[in-house]
Structure 1
Amino acid sequence: MQKRWVEKPQQHSEQVRNLSNSLNINSVLASLLVKRGIHSYQDAENFFCPDLARLYDPFLMRDMDKAVSRIISAFEKGEKILVYGDYDVDGTTAVTLVFSFLNELAPTYIDYYIPDRYDEGYGVSKKGIDHACSNSCSLIIALDCGIKANELVEYSNHKGIDFIIADHHTPGAVLPAAYAVLDPKRTDCNYPFSELSGCGIGFKLVHGLAIKLGLPLERIYRYLDLLAVSIAADMVPIIDENRILSFHGLKKLNSDPCPGLRALIDLRSGKTELSSTDLVFHIGPRINAAGRIKHAKAAVELLISTDPYRASELSKEIDIHNIERKTFDTQITEEALSMITENPEMKRRKTTVVFQPEWHKGVIGIVASRLIEKFYRPTIVLTQSNGLITGSARSVFGFDLYTALSQCSELFEQFGGHKYAAGLTMKADNVAALQERFEQVVAATIPDVLLTPELMIDEELCLADIDGKFFRILNRFSPFGQENELPVFLSRNVRVAESPRVVGKNHLKICVSQGGSAVYDGIGFGLSHLGSLVTRGSSIDICYTLEENNWRGVRRIQLNIKDIRLAEELVSST
């Protein structure tokens, strides 16, 4: 698929020059820092050395004092507490974190509950509240869900069960009538950072409890490995508090992870240090697989385990679920692609809405993402579950999916989510209407330019400037993720030093140099179709990220190629 190359605007040259001089670093690295809002030596120190002491006071969050007081009151009165969370990575890590902390303080009074994806659906359920009632729980702490569960919170109140909602999703016009609602996206909340993960909100809750109970903060820092997984998997911005939490969480993951995460890490091939990317592509999908294929309580059971042998056995079971998930994912994606390619009308549209009642509910979100990789446009994948149609929606960069779905809300029984991802339920009679209405809304509001994938270029870089120092400093920009992405560089008029090779199924292996630079190996994953542009001696422009290739103990800097153009093609278009 053709990409749009977009270069980020250059920053004030004087600011870049001053920062380059004060830090004694390459001007390209200084420009990258300025683009991240870093203008001084002190800013750079805070960025490169994230400090847990700079975490915000949890009591700045609206209702935190009420939530903490209610939990302490429950301890004092011997009330039973149910820790309730969603079935995805963010929800299960949040439940694990809060349950583990509370269980240390009152082990006989804490239980947890994860709803069944297929029987109960997303978020707070009537069945979950009834479970709390039948087990004599008088307080429910809802994590990563609940911010729109107004009717169910009322139902819980009538049963005499208080609710503490600890969510990070966008609230509706009216908040649920819970005892306390922790959500920095509340319009009346002045907490300094609104982009915590659901697990992050749970962490702030135990942070508040630790302060109120006079406990050393090391008691909560032991859970930072869980938090790092949630931040990476839920794709929240890696800035501000999330950067601090992710940085220290990754350190714990690489030094002393909990037994459950250790067991998942041991499933990986290779012994390299974990990065945020590993959490997104290796750890997160396995945790998610438990809820996609069977029940997500298996993920919590793994993550709360203190027995390494038991954790190892559970991780192997979850890995089997992940293999099953991949099979469903591949099969359904192929079926959905066929639906589109064989239907001329669907191919012409600016949206994709596909429905098959037999598709596996647990993977339709993944399938939606796969379809966007092929047909770059807002996408909804629908299946049938418990008499209703369930859907997962995904968006393209720059388009607010949640707002578009809001304009179709009369067709839904329930919907919720973010700018780029959402879930919904609806009656079967409304499927055709959704296909038409969603197309109308998107076609009327999306600029055509957003229907071509954008390759955002951070900086132009000469290959001769890439050396050990440059690479070491660049690595200190990690952890990478949303709003702190691994920088993409552009190098123009690069010479192909050797004939390219196709490796694997469709990956392009090239060797390039520029001027008097060293020759660098490059790998373009999925770019074999560009091989015709890359003949020995040809001059090309390349976009790439930098990575370390460790082959048989030999470490070398490698270019991870994102796109290639003939050099004269870019020159002629400017």
Structure 2
Amino acid sequence: MISPRIRRLPQHEAIANARTPQELLTALYAQRGLSNPEQAAPGLGDLEPVTALRGIEQAVALLADRLRAGAHLLVIGDYDADGATGSALAVRGLRALGAARVSYLVPSRFAFGYGLSPAVVDAAMPMQPDLIITVDNGIASLAGVERARELGVSVLVTDHHLPGDRLPEAAAIVNPNQPGCDFPSKHLAGVGVVFYLLAALRTHLRANGWFNAGRAEPNLAELLDLVALGTVADVVTLDRNNRILVEQGLRRIRAGRCSAGILALLQVAGRDPTRATTTDLGFFVGPRLNAAGRLEEMSLGVECLLTEDPAQAAAMAQTLDGLNRRRREIEGEMKDQAELLLDALALDGEQLPPALCLFGEDWHQGVSGIVAARLRERYHRPVIAFAEAGDGLLRGSARSIDGLHIRDAIDWVDRRHPRLIDRFGGHAMAAGLTLRAGCLSTFRDAFVEAVRAQLGEVPPQPEIRSDGALPALLLTLETAEILRFAGPWGKDFPEPVFDDLFTIRNARIVGERHLKLRVATPGGIEIEAIGFNLGEQLDEARERVRLAYRLDVNEYRGVRSPQLVLAALQSQP
């Protein structure tokens, strides 16, 4: 495992001098670019205007026309948590706005792969749609949109992924990352794009007298729990706009005004909905929802988010929890096999290349992305994990490190080796691709070359950006509680991480791979610490250590206490 370097951020002295939780919070916000603490909690009125989205007028006109005609609207979403929440949001929102017929289809990743392919369009035809609405996909689906046009069905593309050189010839496209779009927030998740589309449609319908005594105007803010979950689970940048969407959704979850499905998923994960945070959504709810798309198909996840029956939601959440347990088992087996492949590489006397491409004959393609992420964390290299996809194809899931735009790296390969890659798509930190089994060796060499061109022979040492030393007097439950709800924290608006020297009082392994510590500050204040998946560092947990950590709340048998959640441990002389 490559040890990260701990780098203190510029405001660390102001943080170290804080004497109250509020002073601490003010300094932490300043570290993240917020000069006024009030900027941390903007309201829905502070969202970027929907009119800045390119293509929104055409999309709204198209939808309004289909609503008035009583047309059949078919939502086709991606098979991850963003696609599932976006699909559920589209179905619930369009029904609330008065659509007569709304259905959804989430293609199986195993049968169809990613996106609106011609095969997916053909599979949708028995449902006799009048309009196809893509969610979290479609921007790269040139052939699929063309197939729908051939069959006389218009397509409305809603997506947030980066486009290629050509756009599909859809009836309308709403994507903040398409060329010519001036929308300031380029980091909307797919579910966020759908929320904006629904809001714009409601404004149009209101202005044209659609709502009346028999058709009430819906409060779309009631659906923000779905937006919050999809945004956090997709690990998009939490810029100001996304923080508003996530925070407003979290407030509704904590108040019990959320879908029965999200409530059930929180409960089956053992999380308290009244204290829900981005951590709960990203590490407990999201993986259980994703498990359906990874091991079977995502319809179960969408249905869980659509049902209003608590008993049905609880039953589906239990099934999703079981799938997630199975997913973890498969992931563990695949990770062990990948480690053996890397060990064999080392036995040959070779050093690890700047990027890793691994293939397992019996690997599960639904879990390959998670394995790629785990190996990236361990070896600090871009990783692509390939699995059999049938018909002589391999499907790869790619995960990157800071400093490398992995979709662009794959595009670099595609430009220099035309027809080597069957199809690909994604964004800076994650991507997916398909290629012929016989092309893997050629692709591996080309991909390593692409990464080497950007990062050099050895990627830079990973680093943990620390807010500095947390004053010992603030190692309290009160501080932990305030930090817990001070976010929402997420990508590019990170949860505070502190670092300091501690003395080890006790160290042991719990749960087979987690490191449990009791540590003391130089002043003798003792506190519990947990290092998830850091059990292999037990031998280093001796006497003096430098810990990088988050201050969190530990809840055990009804007792709540402050706890350090470790990001790194470095032994000291």
Please report the TM-score for the alignment, with normalisation by the length of structure 2: 0.90
Q: Kindly tell me: are residues 400 and 553 of structure 1, through their superposed partners in 2, closer, same or farther at Cα, counting changes over 3 Å?
A: same
User: 2:545 maps to what in 1?
Assistant: 540
* CA deviation map 1:264-294 (0-9, x unaligned): 2221235472221122222111211112222
**Residue identity opposite 2:439 in structure 1:** N
Query: Is contact 1:397-1:450 (8 Å) kept?
Result: no
2:39 is aligned to: 46
Q: Does 1:36 align with 2:52?
A: no
Cα deviation for residue 327 of structure 1 reads 2.5
CA separation of 1:318/1:499 partners in 2, compared to 1, >3 Å: closer, same or farther? closer
- The verdict on how the C-alpha distance between 1:449 and 1:383 changes in structure 2, with shifts beyond 3 A counting, is closer
Change (3 A) 1:517 1:83: same
Partner SS, residue 35 of structure 2: coil
2:65 corresponding residue in structure 1: 73
Consecutive unaligned residues of structure 1, counting only runs of 5 or more, are: 569-574
Q: Give the superposition deviation at 1:359.
A: 2.1
Q: Deviations over 1:402-453 (max 9, x none)?
A: 1211121132110011111110011122111012111222223214663533
1:434 maps to amino acid: F
Does residue 244 (structure 1) correspond to residue 244 (structure 2)? The answer is yes
C-alpha separation between the residues in 2 aligned to 1:132 and 1:529? 50
2:509 corresponds in structure 1 to 502
Q: Does 1:208 align with 2:208?
A: no
Find the aligned partners of 2:247 and 2:47 in 1 and give their Cα distance: 13
Tell me what 1:432 maps to. Answer: 441
Do residues 114 (structure 1) and 78 (structure 2) align? no
Report the CA distance between 1:467 and its aligned residue: 4.1
Residues 69-124 of structure 1: per-residue CA shift (max 9 Å, x gap)? 11010111222211111111101110100111112344542111111211111010
Q: Which residue number in structure 1 is paired with residue 400 of structure 2? A: 395
Determine what percentage of the aligned residue pairs are the same residue.
31
Name the amino acid aligned to 2:224: L
How far 1:325 sits from its partner (Å)?
A: 1.9
Q: Distance in 1 between matches of 2:506 and 2:18?
A: 38
Cα 1:359–1:506 change in 2 (3 A) is closer
Paired residue type of 1:323: R
135-144 or 271-280, larger mean C-alpha shift: 271-280
Could you report, residue by residue, the CA deviation over 1:103-148 in whole angstroms, capped at 9, with x for unpaired residues?
2344542111111211111010223323444433221111100111
- Mark the CA change 1:45 to 1:336 in structure 2 (over 3 Å): closer, same or farther: same
Q: Which residue of 1 aligns with 2:362?
A: 358
Matches within 5 A, 1:105-184: 105-106=97-98, 108-184=100-176
Aligned CA distance change for structure 1 residues 271 and 360 (closer, same or farther; 3 Å): same
Pairing 1:414-493 to 2, within 5 Å after superposition: 414-447=423-456, 450-467=459-476, 470-492=479-501
Residue 300 of structure 2 is matched in structure 1 by 298
Q: Identify if the C-alpha distance between structure 1 residues 477 and 271 changes in structure 2 by more than 3 Å, giving closer, same or farther.
A: closer
Q: Deviation digits for residues 358-401 of structure 1, max 9, x if unmatched?
A: 32221111121122233321111112223122111111233221
- Alpha-carbon distance in structure 1 between the residues aligned to 2:293 and 2:533: 30
Matched with 1:572 is none
> Which position in structure 1 is the counterpart of 2:324?
322
* Cα drift, residue 521 of structure 1: 2.1
Structure 1 residue aligned with 2:352:
348
Give, in angstroms, the shift of residue 57 of structure 1: 2.2
Contact 1:350 1:377 (8 Å CA) reproduced: yes
Question: What amino acid sits opposite 2:561 in the alignment?
Answer: R
Paired residue type of 1:266: Q
CA contact (8 A) 1:415 1:423 kept: yes
Tell me how far apart the structure 2 counterparts of residues 527 and 136 of structure 1 sit (CA, whole Å): 53
1-structure distance, mates of 2:157, 2:179: 16
> Which structure 2 segments of 5+ residues have no match?
none
Conserved? CA contact 1:88–1:291, under 8 Å: yes
**Secondary structure of 1:437 counterpart:** helix
> Partners in 2 of 1:531 and 1:327 — Cα distance?
24
Q: Equivalent residue for 2:527?
A: 520
Shift of 1:26: 6.0
Taking a change above 3 Å as real, the CA distance of residues 479 and 120 of structure 1, as seen in their structure-2 partners, is same
Structure 1 position 373 matched with structure 2 position 381: no
Question: Which TM-score applies when normalising by structure 1?
Answer: 0.90
Q: How many angstroms apart in 1 are the aligned matches of 2:27 and 2:97?
A: 48
Deviations 1:136-173 (A, max 9, x none): 32211111001111222222223222111110001112
Q: Tell me the residue number matched to 1:226.
A: 226
Aligned CA distance change for structure 1 residues 481 and 119 (closer, same or farther; 3 Å): same
Contact 1:377/1:451 (<8 A) preserved: no
**Pair 295,534 (structure 1): closer, same or farther in 2 beyond 3 Å:** closer
Pair 1:232–1:450, CA change in 2 (3 A): same
Cα 1:448/1:475, change in 2 over 3 Å: farther
In 2, distance between residues paired with 1:296 and 1:506? 31
Contact 1:292 1:362 in 2 (8 A): yes
Contact 2:231 2:242 in 1 (8 A): yes
Maintained 8 Å contact 1:340/1:347? no
Q: Deviations over 1:206-262 (max 9, x none)?
A: 111122222788621111111111111100112211111111211222322212222
Alignment root-mean-square deviation, CA:
2.5
Equivalent residue, structure 1, for 2:336: 334
Contact 1:32/1:459, CA 8 A, preserved across alignment: no
Find the counterpart in structure 2 of residue 571 from structure 1.
none
Quick one: distance in 2 between partners of 1:397 and 1:478?
A: 23
What is the Cα deviation at residue 567 of structure 1? Answer: 4.2
The residue type equivalent to 1:424 in the other structure is L
For 1:37 and 1:549, locate their aligned partners in 2 and report how far apart those are by CA, in whole Å.
29
Question: Quick one: structure 1 residues 217 and 167, their matched pair in 2 at CA, closer, same or farther if it must change by over 3 Å?
Answer: farther
Partner SS for 1:486: coil
| Partner residue of 1:91 out of 66, 83, 91 | 83
SS at 2:148 equivalent: helix
